[in-house]
Amino acid sequence: MSGYIRFVQCLRRVIAISISTPIPNSTLETNLLYPKTLNPDFKKPQFSTSSSSAGGVWRDPNRISIWRRKKEIGKEGLIVAKELKRLQSNPIRLQRCIQSNVSRLLKSDLVSVLAEFQRQNQVFLSMKLYDVVRKEIWYRPDMFFYRDMLMMLARNKKVEEAKRVWGDLKKEEVLFDQHTFGDIIRGFLDNGLPDEAMEIYDEMRQSPDPPLSLPFRVILKGLVPYPELREKVKADFLELFPGYSVYDPPEDLFEDQEWKTDSELD
């Protein structure tokens, strides 16, 4: 009899616990209720300090810039892109199309159309959408937004447009990291714009971001056709990174390449 009484008491406790404990409706609630027992790797969700109607918004630590995401152009964006390309020779109708159609595009569509124009080296239309994007309410200065614009302008040797974009990013106090500096400088060098590349290099040297060896090596490789400029960057590299070595290609490397090209033409 005593064993039966103890069984009944234990059963009552189990029932009382099950009634008082809420049943989770989602994985998130399960993790919040049983963070250690059911999910050992669970980390308490972080909330941003910005105010909202819900008392806080989710802040995803793995969130990346919209300009780094894969940009697949949608149906609406494709229609607008075709219309812009058709009207680019007519300034008045083009401006009307931008005001009526482009301004109604969702953020993702506008980003994807700009990325597609950059891929196609449509400089004129890219600059038009560049102006539109910077006026959008959701726009925030972004390093990758400016990087993509500068790389596209370098490919097409558009110096004046590149200077304008650079002036805008300076006004917005956008800071490139060292790797992005190296990529942009190399882009200008590879497209035969050494003067502009060295102007950006001077900006890189004044950056508060600590220097890294890899971007310097990327730049030095792009400076092989420009020996005098390369010596300047090489001296900076050896000063910043004592003990490192720099590979110097043979002096007659490009002479041999030119001789082979002339021989093939003959």
Report all structural domains of the chain as residue ranges with CATH numbers, in order of start. Answer: 175-260 (1.25.40.10)
pLDDT at position 12: 65
pLDDT at position 195: 96
Query: In the chain, pLDDT over 70 holds for what percent of residues?
Result: 68
Between the ranges 40-44, 62-66, 199-203, 255-259, where is the mean pLDDT highest?
199-203
Which of 163, 230, 166, 155 shows the shortest CA–CA distance to 190?
A: 155
Which of 195, 187, 147, 136 shows the shortest CA–CA distance to 169?
A: 147
Is it the case that residue 189 has pLDDT exceeding 50?
A: yes
pLDDT at position 74: 83
Is the pTM value of this prediction over 0.85?
A: no
Is it the case that residue 33 has pLDDT exceeding 50?
A: no
Is it the case that residue 37 has pLDDT exceeding 50?
A: no
Average pLDDT value over all residues in the chain: 79
Is it the case that residue 32 has pLDDT exceeding 60?
A: no
Is it the case that residue 258 has pLDDT exceeding 50?
A: no
pLDDT at position 172: 95
pLDDT at position 73: 82
Query: In the chain, pLDDT over 90 holds for what percent of residues?
Result: 58
pLDDT at position 104: 87
190: tokens are: 């590879």
Which of 252, 246, 208 shows the shortest CA–CA distance to 230?
A: 246
Q: Which has more confidence, 236 or 23?
A: 236
pLDDT tens readout for residues 190-220: 999 999 999 999 999 999 999 999 999 999 9
pLDDT at position 248: 80
- Residue 211, burial from CB neighbour count under 10 angstroms (0-12, 13-18, 19+): middle
- Out of 47-56, 113-122, 169-178, 182-191, pick the least confident: 47-56
